[in-house]
Amino acid sequence: MKVPYNWLREYVDIPYSPEELAHRLTMAGIEVGSVQVFAPLGENFVAGKIGALSLHPNAQNLQVVTVNTGNGLLNIVCGAWNIKKGDMVPLALPGAVLPGGKEIRTAEIKGVSSPGMLCSAGELGLDIVQEEEGILILNEGCSPGTRLTDILFINEPVLELDLTPNRSDCLGLLGVAREVAAQTGGKIKISAVEVEERGRDIRELTSVEILDPELCPRYTARIMEGFKIAPSPLNMQLRLLSVGIRAIYNLVDVTNYLMWETGFPMHAFDYDKLEKGRIIVRRAHPGEEMVTLDGVTRTLDPEVLVIADARVPVGLAGVMGGEYTEITTATTRLLLEAACFNPVNIRKTARKMNLPSEASQRYEKGVDPEAAIFAQNRAVRLIQETAGGEICRGIIDNYPRPYRVPRIDLRVKKVEEVLGYDVSEREITGILEGLGLEVEAGSPPAVSSPRSNPAGAIYKVEVPSFRRDLYEEIDLIEEIARIKGFEKIPLTLPVGVLTSGRPSRERRVLDRIRDVLVGCGLQEIITFSFMNPRLFDELDLPPDDFRRNAIKLQNPLSEEQGVLRTTQIPNILQVMQYNFNRQVDNQLIFEIGKIFLPAETDSKLPLEKMLVSLALSGKMPQNDWQNTPKPLDYFYLKGILEALLNSLGIKEYRWEAGQLPFLHPTRGATLVVNDQEAGFIGALHPAALEKLQFRQDVYLAELSTEAFLNSVSLSPSFKPLPRYPSVLRDVAFTVPEKVNAGDIMQGLKECGGKLLEDIRLFDVYKGTQIPQGHLSLAFALTFRHSERTLKDDEIDEIQEAMEQFLHDKYAAILRKL
């Protein structure tokens, strides 16, 4: 909402500068986004009166004009021909700078000196409508030499309000004026309008019927005739222009002017085009058609409220008029509408038709029903002033749902209870009355001091129709705080019993996971919870994979954000792609976030699961002048997961080879924690690498925290430190290639029993020393007894048992080292 400062001053005295007003409004909750000057014009522009005109001696298309500047006569060379003796015109004197940046100087034009320039509207930067092209004729009464900025409504500071949805009352300057008055204690300067009616009674000419009062609580109409359609007076045009509305001609301009003044949208119909001159407010019939002002044929349905004549719709109520009944230069009689409509219905229609307008925007938020008559009278008076004509006798006022004044109980004690500071009763009544509310002491009557009566005083407050956002006690308390000023609120802290703010166990687990992964050198990323469903195809996800059953958004911003993610892998791969394309070749990343799986029925909320997803690609970080960098691989990633599980205190887990989504068929495994599938790890499938145009391997893992949350031990209990020395033994076995190292280790563990403290695979060898189809696995075994020193023959015995067991079960043979 644009508020021209000087226009606003017509309705209320403003003891502040525009900037100060902006600040005060902002601090009272009417946020002013900016203050900008409309049509800024500098010095040296004055009104000049045309005297003698003569042809330029050396140029046929120019004339030399004698102009009275109020300070003497000047001869000005001019190329326009719309001026005549006696006209008052804008004169730019030497030193004046046109809005385009051109500076006016005394110039020799074809041998004649011209100490200035007569200006057109365009040269002054004003987009207005004129009867004739050429020099702007100032039809305002003024004397020569007056500065243009003193005559025209230009150089106008315009406040741009960013209104909250509850303050639709400030969509009219009168509303803003009331707000200013509430702060200054001033009065609104505009009063009731006298209308001089003549000629026929309106009831002989028209009737208004409201078929759906819920959608149209009030409809008023007036009829005028005998006016002259013409461009509006210059200053009215400038006012409209300053709020962003381009003038058209007087009748339309007046309705716009009134809308800006009162916040009440109005519409003028060509009365003679209304079938039987009648107005019927009704829902549209199914399939009914109408051409709106913009020339578009609209197909309507019963959800749409229309203004119809006796036959067809002539306007979309509150949204846009119809083309057929539009005011034209041929119009001789008009019917002026000032009506109220149901905000929700208007909003729906405006949306459906994609027709947001200044009018619909006001109707959507609700207009003041009590302002209709005032607006009518202001409008017809203004039309008469600008276009002449006569106002028919009477006004039609169909008001099936009259405004009921709410009476709100306001307890003084509650004010202090909510705000946390004392506001005196005098202050309370002062503020509310300043806002135009009626305040009377109710029962129980106010006792001398609220402190002597625990209940305190109670006021009955009546709210006028222009503040329909106030309808309960808390609304009034807010008004009191707002006008008193939030800067007066003291600073205190809540007092009460102590509560623990410690994060839940689940959050602490997630924090630990994040810390461990960061410690392992991984960068956390955060991607959108949406994803592109086409990526499932790109990644060759099997058609029956549960991840394909992703929840669709009804109104996504784009196909790429079409569904809620069921895995974080596709988004992570996109991040990798983005970074590869920017020469980031080494990527160690992870994301902790939710996925969304459909519930059994649509009316239930989806299942949300927390996943931890990791991805690696490139070289190991130990890349320096001492080491040749090795590529990151499956085991690097697995090591990170093992470190993670270890620091979460998870002991019972295993890796099971298998064919898994997204993964290389023989380089993937399922992580099983406590016999429950917890996620997967592996190399990205080569086909996917190719589709994504990745030139290096990518390793992925995705774990569901739900699966292992219960196995996490954040504070494991203390194990006494060993008191006896350990014994170290290195053993190596030749095993057939098909045997998994994990099985061999499991065998060693079982044979070692509790004396085997640790087992570490330190070499995997395949080559000439080993029979074909076999490999050698070398282990460092640590043995320890908690209560005594172990003897060599005890360990020999265990080692023999290991040898025997692995030989029998896996055909493994102990190598002599």
Partner 1 sequence: MQENMDRLQLQLKEDIDRAQDFQQLDNIRVRYLGKKGDITLLMRNMNQLSPEQRPVFGKRLNELKNTAETMLEQRKKELYGELSVKRWESERVDVTLPGKPFNPGRKHLITVVLQEIEEIFTCMGFKIAEGPEVELDYYNFEALNMPKDHPARDMQDSFYINREILLRTHTSPVEVRTMQAQAPELPVRIISPGKVYRRDDDITHSPMFHQVEGLVVDKGITLADLKGTLLLFAREMFGKDRDIRLRPSFFPFTEPSAEVDISCIACDGKGCRICGGTGWLEILGSGMTHPRVLEISGYNPEEVTGYAFGMGVERIAMLKYGIDDIRLFYTNDLRMLSQY
**Member of 489, 657, 714, 728 binding partner 1 (CB under 8 A):** 489
**Member of 14, 65, 280, 589 binding partner 1 (CB under 8 A):** 589
User: Would you say 32 or 47 has its CB closer to partner 1?
Assistant: 32
**Member of 145, 233, 406, 606 binding partner 1 (CB under 8 A):** 606
97 contacts: CB under 8 Å, gap ≥ 6 = 42, 103, 104
Q: Residues 627, 630, 632, CA angle at the centre, nearest 5°?
A: 140
User: Would you say 32 or 119 has its CB closer to partner 1?
Assistant: 32
Identify whether the C-beta of residue 374 lies closer than 8 Å to the C-beta of residue 395: no
Residue 230: closest CA among 252, 214, 257: 252
Residues 31-70 that bind partner 1 (CB under 8 A): 31
Q: Minimum distance between the CB of residue 699 and partner 1, rounded to whole angstroms?
A: 16
Judged by CB under 8 A, the stretch of 215-223, 276-284, 514-522, 704-712 that binds partner 1 is: 514-522
Using CB under 8 A as the binding rule, whether residue 492 contacts partner 1 is answered as yes
**Member of 107, 344, 447, 657 binding partner 1 (CB under 8 A):** 344
User: Would you say 448 or 499 has its CB closer to partner 1?
Assistant: 499
Using CB under 8 A as the binding rule, whether residue 600 contacts partner 1 is answered as no
Q: Minimum distance between the CB of residue 2 and partner 1, rounded to whole angstroms?
A: 19
**Member of 608, 690, 763, 808 binding partner 1 (CB under 8 A):** 608
**Member of 551, 745, 759, 780 binding partner 1 (CB under 8 A):** 551
* Tokens found for residue 710: 């219960």
Q: Minimum distance between the CB of residue 466 and partner 1, rounded to whole angstroms?
A: 17
User: Would you say 142 or 595 has its CB closer to partner 1?
Assistant: 595
Q: Minimum distance between the CB of residue 97 and partner 1, rounded to whole angstroms?
A: 25
Distance between CA atoms of residues 515 and 559, nearest Å: 35
Q: Minimum distance between the CB of residue 352 and partner 1, rounded to whole angstroms?
A: 14
Q: Secondary structure of 568-629 in the HEC alphabet?
A: CHHHHHHHHHHHHCCCCCCEEEEEEEEEEECCCCCCCCCEEEEEEEEEEECECCCCECCECC
SS3 content of the chain, % helix, strand, coil (to 5): 30, 30, 40
Q: Minimum distance between the CB of residue 524 and partner 1, rounded to whole angstroms?
A: 4
108-141 as b/e, with b when 16 or more CB fall inside 10 Å?
Answer: ebeebebbbbbbbbebbebebbbeeebbbbbeee
**Member of 518, 687, 741, 764 binding partner 1 (CB under 8 A):** 518
Q: Secondary structure of 229-246 in the HEC alphabet?
A: CCCCCHHHHHHHHHCCCC
User: Would you say 278 or 619 has its CB closer to partner 1?
Assistant: 619
Whether the CA torsion 760, 766, 769, 772 is positive or negative: it is positive
Q: Minimum distance between the CB of residue 781 and partner 1, rounded to whole angstroms?
A: 31
Judged by CB under 8 A, the stretch of 239-247, 381-389, 604-612, 717-725 that binds partner 1 is: 604-612
Phi (first) and psi of residue 252, to 5 degrees: -70, -40
User: Would you say 63 or 561 has its CB closer to partner 1?
Assistant: 561
Q: Minimum distance between the CB of residue 220 and partner 1, rounded to whole angstroms?
A: 25
Using CB under 8 A as the binding rule, whether residue 113 contacts partner 1 is answered as no
Identify whether the C-beta of residue 175 lies closer than 8 Å to the C-beta of residue 466: yes
Residues 382-441 that bind partner 1 (CB under 8 A): 417-421
How many residues bind partner 1 (CB under 8 A)? The answer is 91
Residues 267-286 that bind partner 1 (CB under 8 A): none
**Member of 63, 155, 166, 674 binding partner 1 (CB under 8 A):** 166
Using CB under 8 A as the binding rule, whether residue 498 contacts partner 1 is answered as yes
CA-to-CA dists, residue 711 to 607, 645, 650, angstroms = 22, 10, 6
Q: Residues 749, 751, 754, CA angle at the centre, nearest 5°?
A: 65
User: Would you say 79 or 343 has its CB closer to partner 1?
Assistant: 343
User: Would you say 503 or 658 has its CB closer to partner 1?
Assistant: 503
User: Would you say 211 or 553 has its CB closer to partner 1?
Assistant: 553
Using CB under 8 A as the binding rule, whether residue 740 contacts partner 1 is answered as no
User: Would you say 625 or 718 has its CB closer to partner 1?
Assistant: 625
User: Would you say 330 or 495 has its CB closer to partner 1?
Assistant: 495
What is the SS3 assignment for 427? Answer: helix
**Member of 621, 639, 722, 753 binding partner 1 (CB under 8 A):** 621
Q: How many CA atoms lie within 13 A of 155 on its CB side?
A: 10
Distance between CA atoms of residues 677 and 564, nearest Å: 23
Identify whether the C-beta of residue 160 lies closer than 8 Å to the C-beta of residue 1: yes
Phi (first) and psi of residue 315, to 5 degrees: -175, 150
Q: What is the DSSP letter of 769?
A: T
User: Would you say 330 or 605 has its CB closer to partner 1?
Assistant: 605
Kindly compute the dihedral angle of the four CA atoms of residues 347, 350, 353, 354, in this order, to the nearest 10 degrees: -110
Identify whether the C-beta of residue 271 lies closer than 8 Å to the C-beta of residue 223: yes
Binding mask 445-484 for partner 1 (x = CB under 8 A): ---------------------------x-xx-xx--xx--
Using CB under 8 A as the binding rule, whether residue 624 contacts partner 1 is answered as yes
Q: Minimum distance between the CB of residue 188 and partner 1, rounded to whole angstroms?
A: 22
Using CB under 8 A as the binding rule, whether residue 29 contacts partner 1 is answered as yes
Using CB under 8 A as the binding rule, whether residue 543 contacts partner 1 is answered as no
Please report the beta strands in 433-527, taking only residues with DSSP state E, as ranges in sequence order. 438-441, 458-462, 523-524
Using CB under 8 A as the binding rule, whether residue 365 contacts partner 1 is answered as yes
Q: Minimum distance between the CB of residue 459 and partner 1, rounded to whole angstroms?
A: 18
Using CB under 8 A as the binding rule, whether residue 9 contacts partner 1 is answered as no
**Member of 507, 654, 766, 809 binding partner 1 (CB under 8 A):** 507
**Member of 364, 390, 697, 702 binding partner 1 (CB under 8 A):** 364
* Tokens found for residue 35: 């203050």
Specify the residue for token string 């009275």. Answer: 68
Distance between CA atoms of residues 645 and 465, nearest Å: 67
**Member of 49, 347, 547, 664 binding partner 1 (CB under 8 A):** 347
Distance between CA atoms of residues 116 and 91, nearest Å: 7
User: Would you say 142 or 592 has its CB closer to partner 1?
Assistant: 592
Binding mask 324-343 for partner 1 (x = CB under 8 A): -------------------x
Using CB under 8 A as the binding rule, whether residue 192 contacts partner 1 is answered as no
Using CB under 8 A as the binding rule, whether residue 101 contacts partner 1 is answered as no
Residue 372: closest CA among 271, 265, 467, 257: 265
Distance between CA atoms of residues 617 and 630, nearest Å: 11
Judged by CB under 8 A, the stretch of 255-263, 297-305, 601-609, 808-816 that binds partner 1 is: 601-609
Specify the residue for token string 């002002």. Answer: 293
Which helix (H) or strand (E) covers residue 806, if one does?
A: helix 792-810
**Member of 529, 647, 670, 782 binding partner 1 (CB under 8 A):** 529
Q: Minimum distance between the CB of residue 498 and partner 1, rounded to whole angstroms?
A: 6
**Member of 119, 395, 517, 712 binding partner 1 (CB under 8 A):** 517
User: Would you say 224 or 573 has its CB closer to partner 1?
Assistant: 573
Phi (first) and psi of residue 600, to 5 degrees: -65, -35
Phi (first) and psi of residue 473, to 5 degrees: -55, -45
Q: Minimum distance between the CB of residue 649 and partner 1, rounded to whole angstroms?
A: 22
Judged by CB under 8 A, the stretch of 192-200, 589-597, 749-757, 774-782 that binds partner 1 is: 589-597
Distance between CA atoms of residues 691 and 709, nearest Å: 35
Q: How many CA atoms lie within 13 A of 384 on its CB side?
A: 18
Kindly compute the dihedral angle of the four CA atoms of residues 163, 168, 171, 173, in this order, to the nearest 10 degrees: -100
